Amino acid sequence: MDEVLVIENLTVVYTKNGKRIKAVDRVDLKVNQGDMIGIVGESGSGKSTLAHAVMGLLPSNGFIAEGKIRLLGYEITRLNDDEMRKIRWKEFSMVFQKSMNALSPVHKIGEQMKEAVIVHEPEIGETEVESRMKKVLDMVNLPHRVLKSYPHELSGGMMQRVMIALALINNPKFVIFDEATTALDVVTQGQILDEIKNLVERLSLTGMVITHDIGVVAEICNKIAVMYAGRIVEEGPKEKILYDPLHPYTKALISSHPELAEGGGRMRGIPGNLPDLSKEIKGCVFAERCPHAEKICFDDRPGFVKISGRKVACFKIKEVEE
Amino acid sequence: MKLKEFWKRYFEHPYGVAGFVIFAVLLFMAIFAPLISMGKPNEMSGDILSPPSLKYPFGTDHLGRSVYSRIVYGTRVSLSVGFVAAGLSALIGIFIGAFSGYFGGMVDEVMSKIIDSFLMIPVFFLILIIVAIFGSNLFYIMLVIGLTTWPRNARIMRAQTLSLKERAFVKVAKSLGEGDLRILMTHIIPNGMYPVVANSALQMGGAILAEAALSFLGLGDPNITSWGKMINEARTYMAFAWWTIVFPGIFIILAVVAFSFIADGLQYALYPKLKEVEESG
Amino acid sequence: MGNFTRYLIRRITAVLVMIFLVMSLNFFIIHAAPGDPVTIMTGLENPSKEIIETLKKKYGLDKPLVVQYIKYFSNLLKGNLGYSYVYDQPTWHLIRERIFPTLVLTLTGSVVAFILGIYLAIWVSHLRQRFGETIVSTVNYILYATPSFWLALILILIFSSKLKILPTSGMYDLRASYHGFRKFLDLLRHLILPAGTLALIQLPIFYRVTRTSIIQSEKEEYVTTLTAIGVSKEKLFKKYVLKNAILPTVTIFGITLGFSITGAVLVEIVFAWPGMGRLMFDAIFRRDYQLLLGIYFLMAVLISIAMIITDILIAILDPRIRIT
C-alpha cells in the first residue's frame, strides 16, 4: 500500500477583519494508492480549505500555521510558489467548484487548455498537444470543436466536463474534485456524477472528493472522512460510515439525507449552529449541538478511537452506540 | 441602515474625511466672507498687479483688487451653484426615475431611451447654447445646469426603484391597499435615494466646473465675482502676474476635489460589502 | 439574426434616438427663446424682407408648430444645416473646414490619455506598496477636478511665457509656410500643448476604469484556474488579465468622446486652435444661433459615428458579442 498523500497535524488559519479563523484544526489524513476519499461536511467545515492547502492554492489571507502535507513525495508545506507551480498540474490537479467562470471569457478554451501542457513540457510539439487535448475531450464525451469555442458558448454541464478534462490532461497521479457537481442542475448533476464515477473506475484514479452531499460520496468514493468545524470527526471505509455511522454528527448528517436515511428518508435537521472558529475551542467541536454531550466533551478534545473498522473522535462512543 | 453607523463608516474612509475637511473650510469662507476677506471684493486700490504680500495674501489684479478677497467671495458663488444645480438635478432625477421605474410599461420604455440618449450628448454645449441665447444670470445658470444633468440621477433612481418594488415591505404596503403615490413617497423614494445623494456630491463638483467654464467664456453672470471670471480677466496679464490666474484655479480644484472625495466616502459608506472578501470553507 | 447584428441594431437605435433628441432640443430652444424666431435664426437685428420670406418658406414659420417641427426635421435630414446670415454663407461651408482640426486635437488627446491611463494602471498594479497607488490616485483626483481652460493657461504660462519652447496658439506657424514633412512637424509642435492639456484632463477616467477592471479581473475565478495549471504570473497578467481588463476601457473611450469634444472646445478657445470650438465661440458672440445650433447638431452626429465605431471595435475584441 503506497501512501500517496499524508497530512499530519495540519492547521490552516485565515485572517479576516483582524480575527484569526482556524478553518482547519490539527487534521491528520492518509490517502493510499487507488483510494478515492470523500471529504464530507457542511459549508464552513474547512473541507474546501483542506483541498486548497493540499494544492498549495490558499487565498492570500490564509496560511498553514502548523503541520505537514506530503503529496507524492513532495513536502508541499516547504515549497515556495514557484516550485509549486512547476509540479502542480503535472503530478496532481483539481476540478474547481465554479466551472462557468473558471476560464477566461475572451480566450478560446483550446488556447487555455494548451497552457496546462506547454507550461510543464515546453519541448512538446504542436500536434502532440493537440492530440492530447482531443484525447481528454474524448474521455469526458465532448466534441473536439470545443477547443475552438469560448466559455460562454458552452452549457454549465459542458464547462464542467471541460474542467474535468483539464484536470486529467497531464495524466495526474492525484486528483481533487471540489464540489464538482454543486453548481449544476439536477439532471446534469447526475450525468456528470456518472461521468466522474466512470473515469475514476476506468483510470483507477487516486484522489479526494470534496462535497457537502453525502450522496455524491456514496457514488464515487471508497473511503469517507467527515469534517466538522475544521476537524475530522470520523473516518473509514465507505460502507462503515454510510450504513453504520458512529459519531453523533455523522449520524445526524446521514439521517438528514433523503435517500440514505433509514425509515423512508424522514429528514432530520440538526439544531444549533457552527461554533465560532475565531475562538479557541477546548473540547469537542460538536459538543454544543450534541445530544450526548457531557462535561468532558466541553473540556477536552477527543482523540481518535479505532472501533469496528474506522476511526472516531468521540468520548461517548459507547453510549452513542447503544 | 442606521444613520450613526453610516457616518461612522463614512469617516473611516480617508478621502471622505479629507473631503469633509476641505468642504468645511470652504463653507466657513462662504458664510463668514465679510469677516475674513480683508476688504471688499471690488475695492480697487492703487496697487496694481502687486505680488502676494501680507496685505494682499494672493496679490492684486489689473484693477488693484485683492485676489484673496475676490476668491473668498467667489466661494459663495461656487458653493451655491453646486448646491442649487445638483439639488435640482437630484430632485428631478429622483422623481422621474422613481415614477418611471415604479409604473413601468411604455412610459418607462420611452423614458429609459431618452435617459440613455441624454447621457450620450455633450451636455455642456447644451448649457452653453441655452445660456448664450436666454441670457446669463446666476439663477439661470444654476437652473440650466440642474435641468440638463438629471438623467444620471434618474437612471440610478430607476434601478433602485426596480429592486425596491420587489421587496416585501413594498408588497405588503400594496396589499394593504396603500395608494401608489403614497408608496412612492413613503417607501420607495426615502429608501432608494441614497445612491442619488452620493452621485449628487459628484455633480456638485461638475456644476462648479461648468459654471467656471461658462464664466471663463464670458457667459457668466456679469454682476458677481466668480472664480471662472477671475481667470478670464487675468488671461491678458498672466505672463507677468501669475498669482492672478494660479490662485482662482487652485480653489476651483479644491472645491471639485472636495466633492469627489465626499462622493467616494458616501459610496464607501453605502456599499460596505464591496470591500470585503468572501471565502469558502 | 446573429448576436452581433442584434447588438449593432440596438446601438444604432440608441444613437438615432440621441440625434432625434438633439434635433428636438434645438427646435425647442429656438422657439422658447425670448424674441422672434426669425431674429434668433438670423442673428440680425433687422433682417431684410427677403431673408424673412426665405426663412418663412423654408421653415414654415407662419404655419402651426407641428408643421414647423416637421419642416425643421426634413431640412436637417436632407443635410441642410442652415444658413449663417452673419457670415452670409451656408453653415455647412463654415463648419466643414473646422472639422479636421477638431478631430485631430480630440483624437490625439483621447488616444494619448487612453494609452497613458492604461500604462499607469498597469504600472500601479505591479507596485508592491500601497503608498505609490495613493499618490497616483490623488494626482488623478486633482486632474479630474482641474478645469481644462485653466490647465491650458498654466501650460502656456510655463512652456510658452517662461520657458519659451512651445508656441502659444494656432495650428501652424503662419509666418513660415512649410510643406510636406516640415509642415507635419510644425503641426506636432503646435499640437503638444493643446493635446497635452486634453490628455491630462482625461487621464483620470481611463486610469480609473482600467485600474478598477484590473482589480476586478484579478479576482475572477479564471485567474485561480490559470495560476493552478502553472501559468506564470507575468504571462497571466499580460495575456489574460490585461485583455479582460482593457475591454471596459475601450467602451469608455467611445462613451467619453462627448466629454472629450467638450474639453477640446474650451482648449481650442485658449489656444486659438482653428476648430469647431473656436467657431462656436465666435458664433456665440456674434449671436449667430443658426451656426451655433448647426455646430451642435454636427457634433452630435460625430459623436454618434465615433460611438458606433467603438461598438464595432468592442465586438471584434469581445467574443461574447461577436457572431457565433
In whole numbers, what is the pLDDT of chain A averaged over residues? 84
Are A183 and A261 members of one domain?
no
Q: What is the DSSP string of A99-145?
A: -TTSS-TTS-HHHHHHHHHHTT-TT--HHHHHHHHHHHHHHTT--GG
Confirm whether A240 is domain-assigned: no
Are A10 and A86 members of one domain?
yes
Give me the mean pLDDT over the C125-135 stretch: 82
Are A93 and A163 members of one domain?
yes
Give residue A238's pLDDT: 87
DSSP run (H or E) holding A40: strand A36-40
Residue C193 has pLDDT above 70, yes or no: yes
Name the closest residue on chain C to residue B202, using Cα atoms. Answer: C145
| CA gap A160, A164 in Å, rounded | 6
Instruction: State the pTM of this model.
Output: 0.81
Are A62 and A107 members of one domain?
yes
Are A298 and A180 members of one domain?
no
Are A85 and A142 members of one domain?
yes
Are A165 and A288 members of one domain?
no
Domain at A119, CATH number = 3.40.50.300
* Angle, CA B208 vertex, CA B204 and CA B212 arms, to 5°: 170
Q: Reduced to 3 DSSP states, what percent helix, strand and coil does chain A have, rounded to the nearest 5? A: 35, 25, 40
pLDDT level of residue C190 (50, 70, 90 thresholds): confident
Contact (CB<8Å) A116/C324: no
Residue with cell 472528493: A209
Beta strand segments in A248-300, E: none
Give residue A1's pLDDT: 53
B279 CA: distance to closest CA in chain A (Å): 8
Are A187 and A293 members of one domain?
no
In whole numbers, what is the pLDDT of chain C averaged over residues? 84
Q: Could you tell me which CATH class the domain B3-269 is placed in?
A: mainly alpha
Helix (H, G, I), strand (E, B) or coil at C138: helix
Q: Does C230 touch chain A (CB under 8 A)?
A: yes
Of B22, B100, B2, give the one whose Cα is nearest residue B263.
B22
Give residue B274's pLDDT: 44
Give residue C195's pLDDT: 93
- Residues of C with Cβ-Cβ distance to B125 under 8 angstroms: 262, 265, 280, 296, 299
Contact (CB<8Å) B281/A47: yes
* Angle, CA B9 vertex, CA B5 and CA B11 arms, to 5°: 120
Residue with cell 450628448: B121
Give residue A251's pLDDT: 83
Residue C108 has pLDDT above 90, yes or no: yes
Give residue B277's pLDDT: 33
Give residue B276's pLDDT: 36
Are A38 and A150 members of one domain?
yes
Q: Does C75 touch chain A (CB under 8 A)?
A: no
- Residues of B with Cβ-Cβ distance to A49 under 8 angstroms: 280-281
Contact (CB<8Å) A14/B279: yes
Report percent pLDDT > 90 for chain C: 18
B250 against C69, higher pLDDT: B250
| CA gap C224, C212 in Å, rounded | 19
Residue A268 has pLDDT above 60, yes or no: no
Phi and psi (nearest 5°) for A36? -125, 110
Taking any CB pair shorter than 8 Å as contact, residues of chain A touching chain B are 14, 16, 23, 43-49, 59, 61-62, 97
Confirm whether A199 is domain-assigned: yes
CA distances, A128 to each of A93, A121, A122, B75, C69 (Å): 20, 11, 12, 72, 69
Which residues in chain B land under pLDDT 50?
Answer: 274-281
Return the number of other C-beta atoms located less than 10 Å from residue A138's C-beta: 12
Residue pair A78/A16 in contact by the 8 Å Cβ criterion = no
Highest mean pLDDT (candidates A186-195, A232-241, C252-261): A232-241
Contact (CB<8Å) C307/B120: yes
| CA gap C80, A235 in Å, rounded | 84
Residue pair A194/A164 in contact by the 8 Å Cβ criterion = no
pLDDT digits (tens, 9 = 90+) for A84-103: 888 898 889 999 887 778 89
- Residues of B with Cβ-Cβ distance to C280 under 8 angstroms: 125, 128
Contacts of A140 (CB under 8 A, 6+ apart): A161, A162, A164, A165, A168, A195, A199
Return the number of other C-beta atoms located less than 10 Å from residue C29's C-beta: 20
Give residue A270's pLDDT: 66
Contact (CB<8Å) B280/A14: no
Which contacts of A26-29 are long-range, i.e. CB under 8 A and separated by 24 or more positions? Answer: A26/A66, A26/A67, A26/A231, A27/A67, A27/A227, A27/A230, A27/A231, A27/A232, A28/A232, A28/A304, A29/A5, A29/A225, A29/A232, A29/A235
Residue pair A243/A257 in contact by the 8 Å Cβ criterion = no
Confirm whether A242 is domain-assigned: no
- HSE-up of A6 (CA within 13 Å, CB side)? 10
Q: Does C231 touch chain A (CB under 8 A)?
A: yes
Instruction: Specify the number of domains making up chain A.
Output: 2
Contacts of B252 (CB under 8 A, 6+ apart): B78, B208, B209, B212, B227, B228, C145, C146, C147, C150
pLDDT level of residue A313 (50, 70, 90 thresholds): confident
Confirm whether A262 is domain-assigned: yes
Q: Choose from B273, B276, B280 for mutation: most chain A CBs within 10 A.
A: B280
Q: What is the DSSP string of C161-189?
A: IIS--S--S-SS-SSS---HHHHHHHHHH
A60 CA: distance to closest CA in chain C (Å): 11
| CA gap B40, B120 in Å, rounded | 43
Give residue A266's pLDDT: 47
| CA gap C298, C302 in Å, rounded | 6
Give residue A175's pLDDT: 92
B281 CA: distance to closest CA in chain A (Å): 4
Give residue A239's pLDDT: 86
C257 CA: distance to closest CA in chain B (Å): 9
Residue pair C284/C292 in contact by the 8 Å Cβ criterion = yes
The residue range of the domain holding A11 is 3-229
Of A159, A182, A170, give the one whose Cα is nearest residue A47.
A182
Residue pair C214/C125 in contact by the 8 Å Cβ criterion = yes
Give residue B247's pLDDT: 94
User: What is the signed CA dihedral for B241, B247, B249, B253, rounded to 10 degrees?
Assistant: 160
For residue C80, count CB atoms less than 10 angstroms from its CB and return exposed for 0-12, middle for 13-18, buried for 19 or more: middle
Q: Which domains does chain C have, with CATH numbers?
A: 98-274 (1.10.3720.10)
- Residues of A with Cβ-Cβ distance to B277 under 8 angstroms: 16, 59, 61
Give me the mean pLDDT over the A4-33 stretch: 87
Contact (CB<8Å) C262/B124: yes
Give residue A260's pLDDT: 66
A163 CA: distance to closest CA in chain C (Å): 9
> C33: which 3 cell numbers?
427663446
Give residue C324's pLDDT: 41
Contact (CB<8Å) A48/B277: no
Please state which of the ranges A87-101, C97-111, C192-206 shows the lowest mean pLDDT: A87-101
Are A181 and A290 members of one domain?
no
| CA gap B160, B188 in Å, rounded | 8
Q: What is the DSSP string of B113-137?
A: HHHHHHHHS-HHHHHHHHHHHH---
For C237-262, give one letter per residue: b (16+ CB within 10 A) or e: bebbbbbbbbbbbbbbbbbbbbbbbb
| CA gap B199, C284 in Å, rounded | 31
A135 CA: distance to closest CA in chain B (Å): 33
Name the closest residue on chain B to residue C17, using Cα atoms. Answer: B117
Are A149 and A297 members of one domain?
no
